Amino acid sequence: MVEPVTEFLRYLEGERNVSPHTLRAYAGDVAELLSFLSVSGGSTGDEAPISSSVLDSVSRHTLRAYLADLQERGMSPRTLARKLAALRSFFKYLCARGICKTNPARMASARKLGRPLPHFLNVDEVAQLVEAPDTSTPLGTRDRAILETLYSAGIRASELAALQLSHVDIISGVIKVFGKGRKERLAMIGAPATRALRDYLDIRSQLVKRSDVRHLFVNHRGGPLTSRSVQRIVEKYALSILPARKDVSPHTLRHSFATHLLDRGADLRSVQELLGHANLTSTQIYTHVTTKRLKQVYDNAHPHA
pLDDT in tens, 138-163: 999 999 999 999 999 999 999 999 99
The band of 109, judged by pLDDT with boundaries at 50, 70 and 90, is low
Whether pLDDT at 113 is above 80: no
CATH 1.10.150.130 residue ranges of the chain are 2-107
What is the reported pLDDT for 251?
94
What is the rounded CA–CA span in Å between residue 277 and residue 269? 10
What is the rounded CA–CA span in Å between residue 271 and residue 268? 5
> Catalytic residues, which ones?
156, 180, 251, 254, 277, 286
State the chain's mean pLDDT as an integer: 86
CATH 1.10.443.10 residue ranges of the chain are 123-300
pTM of the shown model: 0.67
Question: Mean pLDDT throughout 267-272?
Answer: 90
Q: Are 39 and 45 in contact (CB under 8 A)?
A: yes
Could you confirm whether domain 123-300 is CATH 1.10.443.10? Answer: yes
- CATH topology (fold) of 2-107: DNA polymerase; domain 1 (1.10.150)
Whether pLDDT at 101 is above 50: yes
Neighbouring C-alpha atoms within 13 Å toward the C-beta of 92: 11
